[in-house]
Structure 1
């Protein structure tokens, strides 16, 4: 059986970093391409469809945050953000723009490879009980979540393609309506690792969903987590 080759696009204006990462990822069995700007990234995407994009925050012209926002609007490709800024607020902004994970420079390429595998595993693999429902549509409060296209359809028909974390979070809440899911559980399910004491990735993801759905559908349960107190139905 032929093994699937994972394809990665590295977007960074530092040629040395691009060459290092592409060589390392290639040695690890992945196929890697690089681009040194947002404009170059869009050109590469015309002929090379990656499974994941590693995107630097500080780029000439359009910066990584704006590119991440545009990628999230146009595609479902997961994004890992590279940043030289270690402050929590900078990481939070990246997550708010739709990044699936972040890594702070300088970093060990082995850590990046591990994060790539975690993000892709999270995107591609689901609990066994969910396999049948991945081809259906979930209905709630006049909204629809199309699990074929990973898109959220509003009452007026407006379609929003959801990023990996946003899709997984909403789908998880919809799979457990009227139940409180605590932050640690949500973090493990969505991000594939334990939640740190200052990690707000779950809260940031919920905030993005509330911007789409309105402030009342997802309820905050104080000192615990979040709940979706609405009825949910599914059709295939």
Structure 2
């Protein structure tokens, strides 16, 4: 079942779009409406904050470069006051802003120009992590990677346990897991993993890789201290096994 065919008892997610570009707002409103969401266009932080206390929205898309203000400031305000997921839009060359954005509470970011389908997929993934009942179309076998008792749904960008329940992953955790699973049974170096995560993470190499690996093991391994799937190859990198045997 797609978002367009949701159960009548389930209200479509309401998405606030905070962007000072009129054309961008119109484009995103059309995209989200056609994807089963209810968009609300906001030109500024003031427009968003005028939506209410708390705002009656399920997710906010915020442009980092708002006219005369910073989208980061709005993200900080939202993070301090509401349990509201945030997806940030950033322009080319805003690498530092992306890092700051993620560290100030944003759940995901996407660089302009972006692929519309990817933005919709990111929004759905973030909403699922927050427990919003977003339905998804069951993936075909070729859209999955199975390892142990778990399964990666490449189409919906989620990890499922043996009962078909989603195991919540951040965007960074998912990207790292998918890359490892797509390249099993070979040693993958830290620089290669860093390159896959993106150049914006360069100044956080050790912290980023170590934290993501630790978090992933806690979510995919029965005994994280004795990993079966995500193994370390000392002084070389990491090795991913699909078969636990």
Q: What TM-score bracket applies, with the shorter chain setting the length?
A: 0.5 to 0.7
| Residue correspondence of structure 1 range 179-218 to structure 2 within 5 A | 189-191=169-171, 193-195=174-176, 197-198=193-194, 199=197
Structure 1 residues 104, 33: closer, same or farther in 2, change over 3 A? same
Partner of 1:21: 28
Contact 1:55 1:64 in 2 (8 A): yes
Partner of 1:75: 82
Structure 1 residues 63, 28: closer, same or farther in 2, change over 3 A? same
Q: In structure 1, the residue corresponding to 2:67 is in which secondary structure?
A: coil
With the length of structure 2 as denominator, give the TM-score of the two structures: 0.54
Unaligned runs of 5+ in 2: 1-6, 133-166, 180-192, 219-245
| Residue correspondence of structure 1 range 1-236 to structure 2 within 5 A | 1-2=7-8, 3-46=10-53, 48-124=55-131, 189-191=169-171, 193-195=174-176, 197-198=193-194, 199=197, 225=214
CA–CA separation in structure 1 for the residues paired with 2:170 and 2:88: 17
Q: Number of residue pairs matched?
A: 153
Partner of 2:226: none
Contact 1:22 1:33 in 2 (8 A): yes
Structure 1 residues 4, 225: closer, same or farther in 2, change over 3 A? same
CA–CA separation in structure 2 for the residues paired with 1:27 and 1:76: 26
CA–CA separation in structure 2 for the residues paired with 1:11 and 1:124: 23
With the length of structure 1 as denominator, give the TM-score of the two structures: 0.56
CA–CA separation in structure 1 for the residues paired with 2:46 and 2:212: 44
Q: In structure 2, the residue corresponding to 1:85 is in which secondary structure?
A: coil
Unaligned runs of 5+ in 1: 126-186, 208-219, 229-236
Partner of 1:234: none
- Between 1 and 2, higher relative CO (CA 8 Å, sep ≥ 6) is seen in 1
Query: Per-residue deviation at 1:96?
Result: 1.1
